[in-house]
Every structure is written in C-alpha cells, then in structure tokens.
C-alpha cells in the first residue's frame, strides 16, 4: 500500500477540517486520535470516500507515512501536547517533521524546538487561525522554527493556506516559538476588536434604543467601508440578525453576558507587561471579560451603585453608520492593531525573532479571525518602514486619528455621563492622547519617587542623574 503524504494527530474540530483541507489539496492523509471510535466515525462520515486512512496506534500511524514524515499535531495546548510528543518522538527518524498547530504558549514552543531539533527531526510551532471554516477552506498560518524545517513543509502549507491577492496566507515567521508568539498577539488583537464591536452594540442599544436588526444594519454599512471591512464586523451582523427558532426573538439577547477565555489574550498582556509594550486597548478587552464573569456581583452592585439619573446623548445619525460611534470603533480597532504590532516589534528585538512586519500583515489579510481591509494599510505602512515606531504616526493612520479623535472623545464623554462602560473606547482615547503628548506628568512621579526613596531622576536641561533633598 502506498504511504500517505501527511499525518494528523487529534481529530478535534480544527484537526478534522485541516486534514480535509490537506487531502483536498492532493495530500493523501492518515489520521490518529487517542480514541479510535472518533477516528472511525470521522472516516465513515466527513472523511468517507477520500484519500484518508485511520491508524489505531501511533506506531501504525508513523509507519503509514512517507518519509520524511510531515505530522501535524492538533491537540490541547500544554501537558496534552507534551504527552503526544513524548509518545511519538521515539518513533520518528532523521528529517521527519512535527508541526504543533495548537494555541501553544510560545515559551513552551521555545523549549520544544530546542529539545526536539537536537534529536535530528524538525519541530515547527505554528499558529493557525480561522476557526473551523478557515481550517477547511484556507486558514492563516504562522509557522516558527528553523528555516530548514519550514522549507520542508512550505509546499504543503502554501496550498492549505488562504490565498489573497499577493500570495498564500503563510510565511516563515522566525525561529523558536515566534510562530506561536505571533498567533498569541493575533488573538490579543482579536480580543480587542471583539470587545470594541460589543461596546458599539451596547451604546446603540442603550442610548438610541435600537434593536438587533437596526444595529445589524449599521454593521452592514460599516462592513462596506475601507476602515471597518472585516471578518469580525461581518459576523457581528450575522450574530445580531440571528433569531431563536423557538420564538423568533434575537438569539444574542438570550446569551449570558459572561465571556470566557482560553488564555491567549492573557498571554498577550503578560508578554506586553514583560516587554514594556503599551497595550491598553487589548488589556481593557481582557479585563472586560474578567469583569463580565463577575455576574452575580454586578447584579447585586447594580441595585446599590445607581446609574446617573438623567443624561442626554447626541451621537449623530447612527442609522447611517457615519457617526462618532464609527469614529470610536475605527480608532479603537486601529489602536488594537497598533498595540499588537508594537508588541511584535519589541519581541522581535528582545527574542531575536527578526520579524518581517509587512509579511505578518500580509498573512493576516486572509483566512484569520482579524482579517480586514485595514491590514493592507498596515502592510503598506511597514513596507514603507519595517521599524515604524507606531502605526499611529504613519501618514494614513495619522490622518484617521486627526479626523476621528473628536468623535471618539465625544463617545467616551457621553458614555461617561450616561454611566455606560466603554473600556476599549476610553482606553484608546487615553492611549492616543498619551502617545501624542510630548510632556506627560511623570516628572512629578519621578519627584515623588526621589522624595521618598532617593530613586534619582533625569533632567530636561542637563545630562546625568540627580537627587534633591526634598524633605530638608
């Protein structure tokens, strides 16, 4: 029997769709799942009639693959990934390649690359984005590891990836855990944009009394603009229009207002804190999920901490979409990307990942959850300057800030008067206002630190380190 071109371990939603994608692109496949019954039901269901076979154990799996073997692991991040690697590693031979396509912590991938590359087979840590549909039709893929390992799977990944006008949505990201780092930051931006769109929905509902269909119309309008045309805006419209088949009411209004998380947004914020990147919009989205989970406390507090009694709200003609709310959404979305890209640049220096920023923007233009028209502008900005200090100072993005800052300010101040939380909008406003302020009040913070702890300070009028006897 001829050997398969490609092997997949882990028949979860993503694994199933990725193996169907590989097979459709001409790579006969073999699959292995810890429980064989799952393999059987896949092979008799979606995998039926295709060049896909199943293996009962890892030995049979490895033996069914042509050499060098190309094996994609789609198992739970953390201990489960280590377990599978420990079981499969002794069966692999020189030149074989393991690809971890889960949402792994980048430092775990760093460790695995070091351990496994020394055993003479290749290891790639690859971020995969796009959900089930993306995995099947073409995801965005962010592979990191040695360049030689990437070269060995480039043909396979290029065929499987989403295609945009300037090529497939996959590229060699860099060494070690860089692929998973980029995917983590992708998810941080994803958290930001999700929360931004939720804040816009909340404002339209609570201040203008708009129902889900009317709000969906605004999202549809936004999706037709260059600034907001994106996958997340598109699916937000769909979510808002979807009705409960039982009673025809809006499904969204029946969903409990508690958002969970699997860790990548948290890792983005932890990395930002460690590297000294300023990511307030992304952090606000993470904190909004944390706050949302405190449902019973919030419910109790609502009866104690009353909202402002009367407020007026003038947000322009929201029904056309071209209102201050759109300004707030555009600038906060830009801020999420800007903060994520800034974090990538810092990581590139600190971990010697040597990111090619335009390529990262390019592979996010299709397939992934944060795909949007803005990414073309982001790609252009970094093509003009790969070390651009911040997207906000690129001429096109600066003109957006110039034009939309009054709208964002209005939304944040109106929301504050109405007592409506807009964490991403208000963090973005502070972020932009801080970033464009040449002199911040940290001179006084420095004075306090020096006063109580002799921490010293720098001066604006001469070089050196200074201390004042403040309390004498």
Phi and psi, residue 91, nearest 5°: -90, -10
Which residue out of 16, 23, 110, 190 is catalytically annotated?
Answer: 190
Q: How far is CA 130 from CA 156, 222, 227, 368, in A?
A: 18, 21, 21, 4
The secondary structure element, H or E, covering residue 97 is strand 97-100
Sign for the pseudo-dihedral over CA of 416, 418, 423, 428: negative
Among the listed ranges 63-71, 126-134, 199-207, 226-234, the one in contact with ligand 6PG (CB under 6 A) is: 126-134
User: Looking at beta carbons only, is 131 or 421 nearer to ligand 6PG?
Assistant: 131
* Residue 10 in contact with ligand 6PG, rule: CB under 6 A: no
Of residues 3, 119, 243, 262, which one binds ligand 6PG by CB under 6 A?
Answer: 262
Rounded CA-CA distance 171/187 in Å is 18
* Residue 130 in contact with ligand 6PG, rule: CB under 6 A: yes
* Residue 195 in contact with ligand 6PG, rule: CB under 6 A: no
* Residue 269 C-beta: closest distance to ligand 6PG, Å: 12
Query: Is-catalytic flag, 183?
Result: yes
Of residues 78, 131, 316, 421, which one binds ligand 6PG by CB under 6 A?
Answer: 131
* Residue 445 C-beta: closest distance to ligand 6PG, Å: 34
Residues 219/198, Cβ–Cβ less than 8 Å: no
* Residue 282 C-beta: closest distance to ligand 6PG, Å: 13
List for the chain the helix, strand, coil content (%; round to 5). 55, 10, 35
Phi and psi, residue 211, nearest 5°: -90, 175
- 127, β-bridge pairs: 142
User: Looking at beta carbons only, is 95 or 263 nearer to ligand 6PG?
Assistant: 263
* Residue 369 in contact with ligand 6PG, rule: CB under 6 A: yes
**What's 457's DSSP letter?**
B
* Residue 190 in contact with ligand 6PG, rule: CB under 6 A: yes
* Residue 368 in contact with ligand 6PG, rule: CB under 6 A: yes
Rounded CA-CA distance 226/265 in Å is 26
Phi and psi, residue 65, nearest 5°: -100, 140
Of residues 21, 129, 362, 426, which one binds ligand 6PG by CB under 6 A?
Answer: 129
* Residue 274 C-beta: closest distance to ligand 6PG, Å: 19
Phi and psi, residue 462, nearest 5°: -155, 155
* Residue 261 in contact with ligand 6PG, rule: CB under 6 A: yes
Instruction: Enumerate residues 87-106 that contact ligand 6PG by CB under 6 A.
Output: 103
Could you tell me the two tokens for 444? 């006084």
* Residue 264 in contact with ligand 6PG, rule: CB under 6 A: yes
Which residue out of 23, 110, 183, 237 is catalytically annotated?
Answer: 183
Rounded CA-CA distance 292/290 in Å is 5
- Residue 353 C-beta-side C-alpha neighbours within 13 Å: 28
- Nearest residue to ligand 6PG by CB is 129
User: Looking at beta carbons only, is 187 or 236 nearer to ligand 6PG?
Assistant: 187
Rounded CA-CA distance 356/448 in Å is 41
Query: Is-catalytic flag, 190?
Result: yes
Binding positions for ligand 6PG, rule: CB under 6 A: 103, 129-131, 187, 190, 260-262, 264-265, 368-369
| Residues designated catalytic | 183, 190
């Amino acid at each position: 029997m001829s050997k398969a071109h490609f092997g997949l371990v882990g028949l979860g939603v993503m694994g199933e769709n990725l193996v169907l994608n590989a097979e459709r692109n001409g790579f006969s496949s073999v699959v292995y799942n810890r429980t064989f019954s799952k393999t059987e039901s896949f092979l008799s269901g979606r995998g039926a009639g295709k060049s896909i076979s199943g293996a009962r154990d890892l030995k049979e799996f490895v033996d069914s693959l042509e050499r060098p073997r190309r094996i994609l692991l789609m198992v739970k991040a953390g201990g489960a990934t280590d377990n599978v690697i420990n079981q499969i590693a002794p069966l692999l031979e020189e030149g074989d390649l393991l690809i971890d396509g889960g949402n792994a912590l980048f430092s775990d991938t760093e460790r695995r690359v070091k351990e496994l590359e020394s055993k003479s087979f290749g290891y790639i840590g690859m971020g995969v984005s796009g959900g089930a549909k993306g995995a099947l039709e073409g995801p965005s893929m962010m592979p990191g590891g040695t360049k030689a390992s990437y070269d060995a799977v480039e043909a396979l990944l290029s065929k499987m990836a989403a295609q945009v006008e300037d090529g497939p949505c996959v590229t060699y990201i860099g060494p070690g855990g860089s692929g998973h780092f980029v995917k983590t930051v992708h998810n941080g931006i994803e958290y930001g944009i999700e929360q931004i769109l939720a804040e816009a929905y909340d404002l339209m509902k609570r201040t203008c009394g708009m129902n889900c269909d009317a709000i969906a119309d605004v999202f549809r309008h936004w999706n037709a603009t260059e600034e907001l045309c994106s996958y997340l805006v598109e699916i937000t419209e769909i979510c808002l229009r979807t009705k409960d088949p039982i009673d025809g009411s809006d499904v969204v209004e029946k969903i409990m207002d508690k958002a969970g998380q699997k860790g990548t947004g948290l890792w983005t914020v932890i990395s930002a804190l460690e590297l000294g990147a300023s990511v307030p919009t992304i952090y606000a989205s993470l904190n909004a999920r944390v706050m949302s989970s405190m449902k019973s406390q919030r419910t109790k507090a609502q009866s104690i901490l009353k909202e402002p009694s009367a407020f007026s709200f003038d947000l322009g003609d929201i029904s056309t979409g071209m209102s201050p709310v759109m300004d707030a959404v555009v600038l906060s979305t830009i801020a999420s990307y800007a903060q994520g890209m800034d974090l990538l640049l810092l990581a590139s220096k600190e971990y010697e990942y040597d990111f090619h920023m335009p390529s990262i923007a390019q592979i996010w233009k299709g397939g992934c959850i944060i795909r949007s028209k803005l990414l073309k502008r982001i790609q252009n900005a970094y093509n003009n300057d790969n070390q651009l200090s911040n997207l906000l100072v690129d001429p096109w993005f600066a003109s957006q800030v110039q034009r939309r800052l009054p709208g964002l300010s209005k939304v944040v101040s109106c929301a504050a008067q109405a007592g409506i939380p807009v964490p991403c909008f208000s963090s973005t406003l502070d972020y932009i206002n801080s970033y464009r302020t040449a002199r911040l009040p940290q001179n006084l913070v420095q004075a306090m630190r020096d006063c109580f702890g002799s921490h010293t300070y720098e001066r604006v009028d001469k070089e050196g380190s200074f201390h004042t006897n403040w309390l004498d």
